[in-house]
Structure 1
Amino acid sequence: MGTITFLLVLSFLVFFHELGHFLAARYFGVKIHVFSIGFGKQIFAKEWKGTTWQLALIPLGGYVQMKGQDDKNPNLKEDGDDSYNTKKPWQRIIILFAGPFANFILAAILYFSIAMMGASTWAAQVGQVQENSPAFHAGILSNDEIIKINDTEIKSWDEIGKTIISTNGTLKFFIKRDGVIIAKTINPQISDSENMFKEKIKKRMIGISPSGKIINLDLSFGESLIYAYDKTIFASTMIFQGIQKLVQGAIPSSEVGGVISIGKVISDASESSIIALFAITALISVNLGVLNLLPIPALDGGHIMFNLYEMITRRKPSDQVFMFLTILGWVILGSLMLLGIYNDINRIFLNN
């Protein structure tokens, strides 16, 4: 069941990505020869409105084959108003960007659905209080519920940290203890901490940790839209930063995962709940969008880079340079995929 869920989710994400390219290309009048989910041998096909819609044997991706553009033949040129290569560079950039953009839209839709179904998060309830911390000296106790900081209403644990970091000076905490509202004045101190990439950082802290109590957020339609936007932006930023840290060496290459890791995560999420499955699908959708925007020649980001070059210089890169960089891009992608699979297999053996 987990494998079927993985293939369905992956196919859905690929379909949405390619649909973005398809709709933008059709908007600019580009003919689409093939819309494929999967690679390799065709196992199902249907012709509709001049396009062959197909399922292929290897369900680890997909593609939209436009007239005048084919990654298997980078030097392909086809004339006519309905050809990709006769479109202006800015039009081609929109067609290329539409795929990743569709993934961001899909992620936002999924996060919005989660919000409407009942997103859960940590309650703004204190668990442990660090000894000799600002919270300790202010008299904060375990199980205290933080309901407001200065003039900011607090609904979840995440909002506590955001408010502490985003404000300066002394803060006034309003806490509920045994049904009574108590005000406490706390002056956060700059302390050692770690970010999500386990790097040592300094940040304003008061020395408390969450109790672990889970609550469901009761969000209105408008609040759900904001929740979806914030989650999509946060996921995109996290993945961009993760790639940057990987290139810089702050994250070891052993952390790179492949299709096996993705499949396991999706399988585990599907067995947990529909909300967990939506959440991991949204995160993978953002991941797919971000990765496709990287300036690697075989990806959408690489093709966008070529078109930006043409817009700036008023000429296309030579066929030889274009072919060389495209092949180099495929080599880079292939190497990353092999690294991910190698790490996945290593993890399997280490866990057994």
Structure 2
Amino acid sequence: MEILIKASQFILSLSLLIVLHELGHFIPAKLFKTKVEKFYLFFDYKFSLVKKKVGETVYGIGWIPLGGYVKIAGMIDESMDKEQMALPPKPWEFRSKPAWQRLIIMLGGVFVNFVLGIFIYIMLMYAYGEQFLPNDSVNAKDGVWVQDSLAMSIGFKNGDKILAVDGEKVREFRGITLAFINGENVTIDRNGEVIEKVLPVDFISKLMDRRKNDEGPILSTRIPFMIAEVPKDSQNKQADLKPKDIIVNVNGIDTKYYDEVENAFKQFKGQNISITVKRDETLKEVAVQISDKGKLGVFGNNFKMDDLEKLGYYDLADIEYTFSEAIPAGWHKSVKKLTDYIKQLKKIFNPKTGAYRGLGGFISIGKIFPSTWSWQAFWEITAFLSIMLGFMNLLPIPALDGGHVVFTLWEMITGKKPGDKFLEYAQIVGFILLITLLLFANGNDIFRLFK
């Protein structure tokens, strides 16, 4: 059932983005009286699932869900219609239109993608606002909890406060890992001393390796040691310990956080000691036995951020926006998403980072949708995919909108139009590049599934 829900959200999002992107080409083409022969969701090699001709255009749904297209008369595109291109140009054909009109037609899809992404983010800000743990709140307390081997190998320690990554302040605590992925240098405050940490070049590769073992976040918030359960086989099953007890002192050592309690227990391996717990706003001293491995023999409690806020450990941000306030907030979020995506692409093209190993196709995209239907999550992901799709289509690669834009701009600047043969060959090269990238990305997905 979870797979079905994820797939449904993915297909709906993809279909929406494809249709609107192609409308971005279709509408200006019609405005400039250019004939559009086909408007398709998905590709229709050999046959279509659905098709209907309305006026001069055939509207349909193909059976290959790898995108969609509009077939504009007189344009060298993925259809590679050489017969049409061999005939003399007609007034209603793309190639007969002025360069500025062709440029607008080609940029229409990208324009729609960017506008759609920004619009969705604005409406999300207006409808839901923002709820997050500010990194400033973590820094205002006692820093981070380091329990991850990769973080330890880099040199992070409990209590470190993350001030900035590449000189840019981290706004949300949950954004630290992404900032590390995109960054190179981390500025931290360690006991009042400002220290610079250089992230390893292959940080992304190491991050992917650790995820195979289902390790937790690279850096966590520090939480109290609250007892959830005392199992029957515990050496302290007879001790006066109860669920929701918070350990605040271990044999005279004050302990505010889980990591401090763990470290204190290690000092008293195999000993009988006393601990102080906070129970219903009162303090109680309890005699306990620490195992030879430095364990109390209890299960600790997992916390939601709301619980930690109620306990006074952190202050969460819950921001509501009026519509006028949502406009700049949505814009800034769109820009942040785009710049983060560009930084990740740069890492992918640097083999030393190993980021190419994380490149994924349709399975990876489908996995980012939640397993339960959430309209908020759906629109968040759709907005990001729209901006990503817009940027990717703007790349100067033949067969993408950006490739056509480059050739048109060249014509406008030099006054020389590239020949049809040149455009055909460029289209073939671009198509081969895209298919290679598509096979590699989806091959990565399949490889990861089998591993």
- For Structure 1 versus Structure 2, the TM-score category normalised by the shorter chain is 0.7 to 0.9
Summarize the Cα distance change of 1:83–1:108 in structure 2 as closer, same or farther, 3 Å threshold: same
Partner of 1:335: 436
Kindly provide the CA deviation profile for residues 159-204 of structure 1, in whole angstroms up to 9, marking residues without a partner as x.
xx9xxxxxxxxxxxxxxxxxxxxxxxxx994632659x958xxxxx
Query: What amino acid is aligned across from residue 192 of structure 1 in structure 2?
Result: K
Tell me, what secondary structure is at the counterpart of 2:92? coil
Normalized against structure 1, the TM-score is what? 0.74
Tell me, what secondary structure is at the counterpart of 2:68? strand
Partner of 1:260: 363
Please list, as runs of the form range in 1=range in 2, the aligned pairs for 1:235-250 lying within 5 A after superposition. 235-249=337-351, 250=353
CA shift, 1:245, in A, is 2.4
Are the equivalent residues in 2 in contact too, given 1:129–1:209 (CA < 8 A)?
A: no
Counting aligned pairs with the same residue, the percent is 33
Instruction: Tell me which moved more, 312-321 or 297-306.
Output: 312-321
Query: What amino acid is aligned across from residue 129 of structure 1 in structure 2?
Result: D
Distance 1:335 1:121 in 2: 40
Partner of 1:62: 68
Are the equivalent residues in 2 in contact too, given 1:36–1:56 (CA < 8 A)?
A: yes
Are the equivalent residues in 1 in contact too, given 2:76–2:424 (CA < 8 A)?
A: no
CA shift, 1:126, in A, is 2.8
Distance 1:261 1:330 in 2: 22
Tell me, what secondary structure is at the counterpart of 2:372? helix
Please list, as runs of the form range in 1=range in 2, the aligned pairs for 1:317-328 lying within 5 A after superposition. 317-328=418-429
Are the equivalent residues in 1 in contact too, given 2:9–2:378 (CA < 8 A)?
A: no
Are the equivalent residues in 2 in contact too, given 1:157–1:210 (CA < 8 A)?
A: no
Query: What amino acid is aligned across from residue 253 of structure 1 in structure 2?
Result: Y
Q: Tell me, yes or no, if structure 1 residue 73 matches structure 2 residue 80.
A: yes
Aligned residues: 292
The match for 2:138 among 95, 102, 126 is 126
Distance 2:122 2:199 in 1: 30
Distance 1:188 1:66 in 2: 63
Instruction: Tell me which moved more, 282-291 or 270-279.
Output: 270-279
Instruction: Tell me which moved more, 15-24 or 238-247.
Output: 238-247
Normalized against structure 2, the TM-score is what? 0.59
Are the equivalent residues in 2 in contact too, given 1:74–1:322 (CA < 8 A)?
A: no
Summarize the Cα distance change of 1:188–1:277 in structure 2 as closer, same or farther, 3 Å threshold: farther
CA shift, 1:240, in A, is 2.2
Distance 1:157 1:320 in 2: 52
Tell me, what secondary structure is at the counterpart of 2:52? strand
Summarize the Cα distance change of 1:225–1:193 in structure 2 as closer, same or farther, 3 Å threshold: farther
CA shift, 1:70, in A, is 4.3
Partner of 1:43: 49
Query: What amino acid is aligned across from residue 229 of structure 1 in structure 2?
Result: W
Q: Give the gaps of 5 or more residues in structure 2.
A: 145-158, 160-170, 177-191, 205-218, 223-304, 307-315
The match for 2:13 among 9, 12, 15 is 9
Distance 1:189 1:89 in 2: 56
Partner of 1:178: none
Distance 1:190 1:83 in 2: 62
Partner of 2:127: 117
Are the equivalent residues in 2 in contact too, given 1:126–1:209 (CA < 8 A)?
A: no
Distance 1:48 1:344 in 2: 39
Kindly provide the CA deviation profile for residues 94-121 of structure 1, in whole angstroms up to 9, marking residues without a partner as x.
1111101111111112212211221333
Distance 1:60 1:34 in 2: 17
Q: Tell me, yes or no, if structure 1 residue 32 matches structure 2 residue 42.
A: no
Distance 1:45 1:74 in 2: 20
Distance 2:9 2:335 in 1: 26
Relative to its length, the structure with more helix (as a share) is 1
Query: What amino acid is aligned across from residue 8 of structure 1 in structure 2?
Result: L
CA shift, 1:47, in A, is 2.4
Query: What amino acid is aligned across from residue 356 of structure 2 in structure 1?
Result: S
Summarize the Cα distance change of 1:191–1:83 in structure 2 as closer, same or farther, 3 Å threshold: same
Tell me, what secondary structure is at the counterpart of 1:271? coil
Partner of 1:297: 398
Query: What amino acid is aligned across from residue 235 of structure 1 in structure 2?
Result: K
Summarize the Cα distance change of 1:119–1:344 in structure 2 as closer, same or farther, 3 Å threshold: farther
Are the equivalent residues in 2 in contact too, given 1:24–1:94 (CA < 8 A)?
A: yes
Are the equivalent residues in 1 in contact too, given 2:76–2:427 (CA < 8 A)?
A: no
CA shift, 1:74, in A, is 6.4
CA shift, 1:33, in A, is 1.1
Summarize the Cα distance change of 1:217–1:338 in structure 2 as closer, same or farther, 3 Å threshold: same
CA shift, 1:218, in A, is 0.6
Please list, as runs of the form range in 1=range in 2, the aligned pairs for 1:87-166 lying within 5 A after superposition. 87-124=97-134, 125-126=137-138, 128-130=141-143, 157=172
Distance 2:101 2:194 in 1: 51
Are the equivalent residues in 2 in contact too, given 1:18–1:99 (CA < 8 A)?
A: yes
Partner of 1:275: 376
Q: Give the gaps of 5 or more residues in structure 1.
A: 132-141, 143-155, 162-186, 200-207
Distance 1:273 1:345 in 2: 27
Based on CA coordinates, which of the two structures has the bigger radius of gyration?
2
Summarize the Cα distance change of 1:17–1:118 in structure 2 as closer, same or farther, 3 Å threshold: same
